[in-house]
Amino acid sequence: MGMLVLALGLVLIVEGLAYALAPSLVERLLEILRSLPLAARRQTGLLSMVLGLILVWCAYQIGF
């Protein structure tokens, strides 16, 4: 459970940094995402999930 809280905290830190340091970039990214078809957004989300899972697995394998 502690590892899950740690991971969530790290995600929130990275998300917060993006909004704090480059809010206009975030707005442009959201506009681009709105213009993509739903299937492309779904594929991007699934790809992100798989990449995250791979990173978590790698961190677990090296002992984090």
Q: What is the pLDDT of residue 34?
A: 93
- For residue 23, the one-letter residue type is P
8-42 pLDDT, tens digit each: 998 999 999 989 999 999 999 999 999 999 999 99
Q: What are the structural domain ranges in the chain?
A: 2-61
| Residue among 54, 56, 42 nearest 11 (CA) | 56
**For residue 26, how many other CB atoms are within 10 A of its CB?**
14
Q: In the predicted model, is pLDDT for residue 64 greater than 80? A: no
DSSP category for residue 57: H
Q: Quick one: pLDDT band at residue 4, thresholds 50, 70, 90?
A: confident
Give the list of residues 6+ apart from residue 3 with CB closer than 8 angstroms, or none.
none
| pTM, 2 dp | 0.67
Q: What is the pLDDT of residue 37?
A: 96
Q: In the predicted model, is pLDDT for residue 43 greater than 80? A: yes
